[in-house]
Amino acid sequence: MEVKCRRLEGKVAVVTASTQGIGLAIAERLGLEGAAVVISSRKQKNVDEAVEGLKAKGITVVGGRLPRLRRPAAQEPHRHGRQEALPRTRKDEFIVGKALALTDAALNENFGHIDILVSNAAANPTVDDILATKESDAAPYLRKGSSVIIISSITGYNPEQGLAMYGVTKTALFGLTKALAREMGPNTRVNCIAPGFVSYTVC
């Protein structure tokens, strides 16, 4: 793919769950338009392969494996085995904190800020830990004029049979996007994209 537009020169883009499928395609396009890209996956093998492929196309890219976050010491399991509710947090901690958790080392070592954040991960088993991320830790990375893009799904509008719970999570992202847009504006724009089904190999 030849892209003549370099409108993202000097920008740093973080794309979560970005070594395959839609996430990788987004990372590639942002990189071809001039952005330095930070990608991530839970598997180091996927990270290495994606980084190699993107570098071969002339893209500045750093890859990181999704870490297992530690639960805060104050957050103890319920006596019946259930998790106690987290204290109330601002919604923007979820998105910004997610980027921080996935790419902290890469950002500190290489770029130091975020201009574009694409939240593409379909699910995250450590969401409680991410919600516990302090906003003050994450805020310095998003610069004025930055953009957050949340990837939902067409399933959020019209769930297929058997995908009720998945559809509910995607519908919830529409509301989250609207709330974040109010809370993070005007310095940061927040938008949501709901793509259709995409065929690719999961490994």
Among residues 141, 157, 166, 200, which one is catalytic? 166
Q: Does the pLDDT value for residue 134 go beyond 50?
A: no
SS3 track for the chain: CCCCCCCCCCCEEEECCCCCHHHHHHHHHHHHCCCEEEEEECCHHHHHHHHHHHHCCCCCEEEEECCCCCCCCCCCECCCCCECCCCCCCCHHHHHHHHHHHHHHHHHHHHCCEEEEEECCCCCCCHHHHHCCCHHHHHHHEEEEEEEEEECCHHHCCCCCCCHHHHHHHHHHHHHHHHHHHHHCCCEEEEEECCCCCCCCCC
CATH 3.30.70.3460 fits 12-68+88-193, yes or no: no
Q: Does the pLDDT value for residue 99 go beyond 80?
A: no
Q: What is the mean pLDDT of residues 182-198?
A: 90
pTM: 0.74
More confident residue, 202 or 192: 192
Percent of the chain with pLDDT over 70: 65
pLDDT of 4: 74
pLDDT of 17: 86
pLDDT of 80: 43
Mean pLDDT across the chain, nearest whole number?
Answer: 76
Q: Does the pLDDT value for residue 157 go beyond 60?
A: yes
- Which two three-digit tokens encode residue 126? 């450590």
pLDDT tier at 122, thresholds 50, 70, 90: low
Annotation marks residue 166 as catalytic = yes
